[in-house]
Amino acid sequence: MSNYFEFNGQVKVCCGENALANLAYELDFLNCKNPLLLSDEGLVACGTLDVFKNAVKPVKFKTEFTKIPADSSTLTINQIARLYRNNKCDGIVAVGGGSVIDTAKGVKLVLSQNCEDIITLSGNEIVKKGESVAFVVVPTTCGTGSEVTSVAVIKDVKTKTKLEFISSELLPDCCFLDLKMTQNLPAKLLVSTAIDALTHAVEAYSSLQKNPISDVYALGAVKLIAGNLLDAVDGDSVAKSNLLLASNMAGLAFSNSMVGIVHAIGHALGAVLNIPHGVAMMMLIVPCLRFNKDVNHVEYSNLLLYLTNEDTFAYTKPNERATTFIDKLEELITKLQEKTGIKLKLTDYGATENELDLICEKAMNDGASVTNNKIFTREDVMEILKEIY
């Protein structure tokens, strides 16, 4: 761990029952009178967007775009930025999961940097503090933590590559964690996004860029997820609330510590095979942690306490704790897989052996590979892919 670190936790978090009742106040504080509402068709169809609109009365939106596709794309971002300008909006309210939030971040970047095409902002040194754009995020999944991260992953449709943008210019002014927004979340999505959050916490806690502040958020997130995930799948609303908070805490951790090999390969699986991000995390977390175990022995040993309990930790010999942590994680994934029927093999998503090379190449070039605590090769990635093929 370096003795120099930075930690940015500048997003105001409004959390709890009826948190959304404060949206009008926050928009007024941000001088936003003509907000643009962003969401997706799934949230319209299941009624969650109506629940949101009822909860935020008397807020009125100048216009809305509720057709954000499941995979954020550069074209969608440029189209929404034009809509914002044509309607003279003065702020963005994004209601959704990872794709909606990442798209909204991309739109905010195009507007704050006063440009037409997000592609021209690729390469993080280009982005500077720009024009103020009021930006509020309301997550509807329990996983990405994207509402507090300075990262957006956006698909470049031309090159089939996931572009990673990292800048504090992507951060919202505030976010709302309100249980009402996750009440229609299907079990499969709840599980895969929660495992995404767990992966954020575990990778942040063991990354090259870990620091004492992000460690606190990461450990707290692991404890909350482990203690609530199974109850949340069974419909317990307190447990679901705790997952929403845990995902936010894991987001704060990884936004400042970054992630590692699980995300490097996971991004490649998303780009090549369109595997949903959380499902990719479920496939990869155990084999990748086994690969990293020799260098992350201390961190994984500590994580056993947070994933299980004091008794399990105390009764496990110190030199077996890292292995037991990964074994317990595998048990949890298996239980969740059995409960939800989520498919966890690459062939379930139409993968062919020919595509494995391309996945390896993309994983090696992914930004998340830089902060993995253990250097990995193309051959290492191929071994991991064969385990889940």
203 binds Fe ion (CB under 5 A): no
196 binds Fe ion (CB under 5 A): yes
The nearer residue to Fe ion, 90 or 196, going by C-beta atoms, is 196
The nearer residue to Fe ion, 144 or 324, going by C-beta atoms, is 144
| Contact string 15-44 vs Fe ion (x = CB under 5 A) | ------------------------------
Give me the DSSP letters along 79-115: HHHHHHHHTT--EEEEEESHHHHHHHHHHHHHHHTT-
Written as six digits, the tokens of 356 are: 């494995």
Q: Interacting stretch for Fe ion, rule CB under 5 A, among 42-50, 191-199, 296-304, 318-326?
A: 191-199
H helix intervals, the chain: 23-29, 41-45, 48-55, 74-86, 98-112, 187-205, 212-233, 237-257, 261-273, 277-292, 297-307, 310-315, 321-340, 353-365, 378-388
The nearer residue to Fe ion, 112 or 371, going by C-beta atoms, is 371
The nearer residue to Fe ion, 32 or 171, going by C-beta atoms, is 171
Written as six digits, the tokens of 56 are: 């935020």
Instruction: Report the residue number whose CB is nearest to Fe ion.
Output: 196
The nearer residue to Fe ion, 64 or 203, going by C-beta atoms, is 203
Q: Nearest distance from residue 273's CB to Fe ion, in Å? A: 16
The interface with Fe ion within residues 274-333 (CB under 5 A) comprises none
Q: Nearest distance from residue 251's CB to Fe ion, in Å? A: 9
Which positions ≥6 away from 62 have C-beta within 8 Å?
34, 35, 36, 87, 88, 89
Nearest-angstrom CA–CA distance, 288 and 245 = 26
380 binds Fe ion (CB under 5 A): no
Q: Interacting stretch for Fe ion, rule CB under 5 A, among 49-57, 103-111, 165-173, 194-202?
A: 194-202
The CB density around residue 216, as the number of other CB atoms within 10 Å, is 14
Q: Which spans of this chain sit near Fe ion (rule: CB under 5 A)? A: 196
